[in-house]
A and B are shown apart, each in its own frame.
Chain A
Amino acid sequence: MSTHHEHFVSPFEPKQRLLMIVGNYGSGKTEVSVNLALHLRRRGAAVSIADLDVVNPYFRCREAQVLMRQAGVRVVLPPGAQQQADLPIVVPEIKGMLEPEEGCYSLFDVGGDPVGATLLSSLHEALGATPYSLMQVINARRPFTNTVDGCLKMQEGLENASRLKVTGYIVNTHLIAETTAEVILDGFELTQKVSQRSGLPIEMVTAMGALADDPRIMALPAPLFRLERVMLPPWLQQEMKDDSKDAEPVPASRPKPLFAS
């Protein structure tokens, strides 16, 4: 599979310990966030992920909470039935995630569009000078972000709403099961133009499963991140029992490293 290629491909390396994922809704923030949380956890880090999606009523990262908790990722969510409310509920644990220690990562899966990013502006003061990565997910096959101007307009809206600055882009151009290498390459080209206009880097290119082995995608001048599909529609889902109570305990408030770094 991919192992012999890994010498050539630069893997994604987070620049900060506080990672926030924003974008227009449907850009794939949740799929990227959940994959990223699982990836960092597998590398031995203590990972907390907060589902800050107050925009989508379904298909949010809370839908993958069993999988993540079983992997030892701490999932921060509104309690009980409030998870199924279309209300902007922000739990107090979020503030405790703002300054992850060495070897720990905090991930915020933020709701779509500027309206979803508005929630981040409430963390503006608590954040202070804490360094963060605010990565804008771009799917060039989505309405409103299929042009360079559209992506920059979206970025401006996200920045104004969050009172934070985007620090880089995630190329996540896809058509779910109909994604081809060409679709990803086109998305990369568009994001490159966005990057040239704004001066911000492309933090990663994502590719689902075997598409990450395509030589043309591996040759792209940006870190490659292989996704495994987590967010499945109900007719493709396997039964998943919630036995996560037995999973490895996760840190209560502030994440501690599970392995010495």
Chain B
Amino acid sequence: MAKVLMKGNEAIGEAAIRAGCVHFFGYPITPQSEVPEYLAKRLPEVGGKFVQAESEVAASNMIYGAAGVGMRVLTTSSSPGISLMAEAMSYIAACELPVVVVNIMRGGPGLGGILPAQGDYLQATKGMGHGDFDLIVLAPSSVQEAVDLTIKAFELAEKYRNPVMVIGDGMIGQMMEPVSFPDVEIGPPLKPGDWALTGCVNRKPRIITSLYLDAMDLHNHNVHLKKKFAVITEHEQRHEAYNCDGEYDVLVTAFGMMARMCKTAIDTLAAEGIQVGLFRPISLKPFPYEACKNAMLKGKRVLDVEMNMGQMIEDVKLAGLGARQIDFFGRAGGVIPSVEEVMNEIRACHAKAKEKNP
């Protein structure tokens, strides 16, 4: 089909529709408000339902309920709103319901500001709610990738009956790029013999609950969730290695839009004769530790660049297990590191790499 020019937020909304999701519950918050705005116009056209909830707490419990009756559902928000959804996310993960949540991050903590940031990395990958559970977390780096990963998110959510988060900074939501929508057919959200609450005529009643009063039952449920995520970890790691085929001294690690800015810095430095690799995890969870380690070991030193005070760097350190020195450059609160600043940081890291390994 012909390409259209879309904002990231609109494209995410349209991608959900293309993936067969016609039910949306959400609440507006800058910089993701174009998702509900777009879907409020589009969903009635495709026979779907759009509900503006009274809060993010309500919206997240609405997707909990809708997924429970076998609907393919989406909610989207931005950082403070995502925090309000933490309780429901834990319930949804406990009940193994397939939902897709999009977080278009803004500067924090607290009410913060409305400009782009990446400060919710740790929340998304390590602590989206109470108890032992894991989200699958996907981080696009362009509007087209936001489309592709949103569609992929629905696939994964239903394949593993696990909540999936698509996470991007405010730039991904607000910027416009030409996109095309792939022809996809995920099939109906409910397969025969499934688990959803569809009315118990001619079958035994089902219940969706996260309440396990017996300690051993709850322990076993935790073990089951862990085993499930081990399978996800084995099969669903995604990453991009940019300029990593040749030799390089410095490896840059970055995700989302920050990685895109790092690419410009890397391309410019290549013209100066400095070769730099870039490792970009696309699945922040499961984090591609092995691939990251391999990319690190090819170089001498690592520079982690993020739009926060250093969050993904914890996973980068886990990947390297001390094998390489890791420098950090970050800006928070909505300040976007400029390409020039990133280049300077890379040059400094490069000089240290040369010094240590003459």
Query: Chain B: interface secondary structure?
Result: mixed
Given A26-B176, A141-B5, A233-B175: A57 in contact with B336 (beta carbons within 8 A): no
Q: Is the CB of A141 within 8 A of B170?
A: no
A143 to B170, CA, bound (A): 21
Chain B residues whose C-beta falls within 8 Å of the C-beta of A56 in the assembled complex: 174
**B:1-48 near A, CB below 8 Å:** 2-7, 10, 14, 30-31, 34, 38, 41
Could you tell me the distance in whole angstroms from the C-beta of B78 to the nearest C-beta in chain A? 10
B7's contact among A26, A86, A236, A237, by CB below 8 Å, is which? A26
Binds A, one of B152-160, B260-268, B311-319: B260-268
**B:220-263 near A, CB below 8 Å:** 257, 260-261, 263
The range of chain A's interface size is 20 to 34
**A:66-99 near B, CB below 8 Å:** 84-86
Q: Is the CB of A57 within 8 A of B30?
A: yes
Chain B residues whose C-beta falls within 8 Å of the C-beta of A62 in the assembled complex: none
Could you tell me the distance in whole angstroms from the C-beta of B302 to the nearest C-beta in chain A? 21
Q: Is the CB of B3 within 8 A of A178?
A: yes
A141 to B11, CA, bound (A): 13
Is B340 among interface residues, defined by CB-CB distance under 8 A?
yes
Chain A residues whose C-beta falls within 8 Å of the C-beta of B113 in the assembled complex: 84
B178's contact among A57, A175, A235, A239, by CB below 8 Å, is which? A175
B260's contact among A85, A235, A237, A239, by CB below 8 Å, is which? A235
A222 to B106, CA, bound (A): 43
B174's contact among A58, A139, A146, A239, by CB below 8 Å, is which? A58
Q: Is the CB of B264 within 8 A of A176?
A: no
Chain B residues whose C-beta falls within 8 Å of the C-beta of A141 in the assembled complex: 2-5, 178
Chain A residues whose C-beta falls within 8 Å of the C-beta of B2 in the assembled complex: 141
Could you tell me the distance in whole angstroms from the C-beta of B314 to the nearest C-beta in chain A? 25
Q: Is the CB of A57 within 8 A of B31?
A: yes
New contact pairs (17) apart from A57-B174, A84-B334, CB-CB < 8 Å: A25-B34, A26-B10, A57-B30, A57-B31, A57-B114, A58-B31, A84-B115, A86-B30, A142-B4, A144-B41, A175-B178, A176-B5, A178-B3, A233-B171, A235-B339, A237-B338, A237-B339
Q: Write 17 A-B pairs (CB below 8 A) sorted by A numbering.
A: A26-B5, A26-B6, A57-B30, A57-B114, A57-B170, A58-B115, A58-B174, A84-B114, A84-B115, A141-B4, A143-B38, A146-B4, A176-B178, A233-B175, A235-B257, A235-B264, A239-B338
